[in-house]
Structure 1
Amino acid sequence: MITQKMKYALKAVMVLGDEKAAGGRAMRIEEIATRSGAPKRFLEHILLEVKRAGIVGSIRGRSGGYILIKEPAQISIPNLMRLIDGPIAPLPCLSRIAYQRCEDCTDEATCRIRRSFSELFWTYLVMIESLTLADLLRGDAAGEMIPLVAPGAEA
């Protein structure tokens, strides 16, 4: 599961992506918070992280605010997830970016837990690695993601 912090980050960059498509003016954090439904106090920290990563920029002054400086198709959702939440692998020994041997593991080659989770994780990675902000922005409603499960169905 993604964290609430990651959901706020996605909503904020989606709002900035929508604004970029509509003309690209800078948006004040209060407006981003209102349009995304994310609390302003969380957005301040999140947008600073996203800014340091070179995804958004900020403009000072009266008409200043935040702007999306990368094209939505160049903003990788899994990279954003790693930036906000850290590694996305279910086990540290499966992480490509933050690999660590499991403390209690005696042999990775024969570890049945690692083998089982690796098959699931690599399938997940194949699907998610190509996901970009542009994909999210093509949703039905501006600033919101498309539901993957029909209403009333179990997830």
Structure 2
Amino acid sequence: MLSQKVRYAIRAMQHLADSYGEGPVQLGEIAKAQRIPAGFLTTILSELGRAGVVESQRGRGGGYWLATPPNKLTYGDLVRPMRGSLSLVPCASRNAHERCTNCLAEDQCRLRALMLKVRDRTAELLDTIYLSDPMDALPSFEKMLVEQSPAA
């Protein structure tokens, strides 16, 4: 499940994508338009700044903007810095792998095998949808599953 932090980060980045090329956007404008608490948004934007997703300028006329054009920035680029991993269980993480404490051996665990597939499909999807892509032009999830299934 996506945390509130990740959902806010995505909404804030969508807002910046809509304003891309128009100069810095003030934190208060993003917070108000996206209904994100300003203090929480400050933390989110700081983390995304450290990850190289946004840039900022302080002072009069300052604000935030995307460090990368929206047509080069995927949703995976936004979720990973906020969440750290795309996996639902720690043993299926590619970047933050941890063995489960009370589980079977990893090579025998069917749940882990399933969660690796879920994680890979999630990454595949998030890494192919760009911030600039109109949501109504994206293929449906059902269509993607049919296109990628072995029987298709």
Normalising by structure 1, we get a TM-score of 0.78
Could you say what secondary structure the match of 2:46 adopts?
Answer: helix
1:8 corresponds to which residue? Answer: 8
Q: Over aligned residue pairs, what C-alpha RMSD do you find?
A: 2.1
| Distance of 2:90 and 2:15 partners within structure 1 | 33
Q: 1:52-95 deviations in whole A, cap 9, x for unaligned?
A: 11111111221111111211122231232121122121221211
Consecutive aligned runs of 4 or more in structure 1 exceeding 6 Å deviation: none
Could you say what secondary structure the match of 1:17 adopts?
Answer: helix
1:72 corresponds to which residue? Answer: 70
| Distance of 1:121 and 1:60 partners within structure 2 | 38
Which of 1 and 2 has higher RCO (CA within 8 Å, sep 6+)? 1
Could you say what secondary structure the match of 1:109 adopts?
Answer: helix
| Distance of 1:117 and 1:35 partners within structure 2 | 36
Could you say what secondary structure the match of 1:58 adopts?
Answer: strand
| Correspondent of 1:119 among 117, 120, 130 | 117
| Distance of 1:61 and 1:120 partners within structure 2 | 44
Q: Which runs of 5+ in 1 are unaligned?
A: 141-145, 150-155
| Correspondent of 2:50 among 34, 49, 52 | 52
2:79 corresponds to which residue? Answer: 81
Task: Give the C-alpha shift of residue 106 in structure 1.
Answer: 4.0
1:109 corresponds to which residue? Answer: 107
> Residues 114 and 44 from structure 1, CA distance in 2 versus in 1: closer, same or farther, beyond 3 angstroms?
same
Q: 1:116-154 deviations in whole A, cap 9, x for unaligned?
A: 33333333333233222122xx246xxxxx9x79xxxxx
Contact 2:75-2:127 at 8 Å conserved across structures: yes
| Distance of 2:135 and 2:118 partners within structure 1 | 26
1:133 corresponds to which residue? Answer: 131
> Residues 123 and 27 from structure 1, CA distance in 2 versus in 1: closer, same or farther, beyond 3 angstroms?
closer
> Residues 119 and 69 from structure 1, CA distance in 2 versus in 1: closer, same or farther, beyond 3 angstroms?
closer
| Distance of 1:123 and 1:93 partners within structure 2 | 16
Q: 1:18-77 deviations in whole A, cap 9, x for unaligned?
A: 111xx4211111111112221111111100111111111111221111111211122231
Normalising by structure 2, we get a TM-score of 0.80
> Residues 2 and 106 from structure 1, CA distance in 2 versus in 1: closer, same or farther, beyond 3 angstroms?
closer
Percent identity for Structure 1 against Structure 2: 35
> Residues 99 and 63 from structure 1, CA distance in 2 versus in 1: closer, same or farther, beyond 3 angstroms?
same
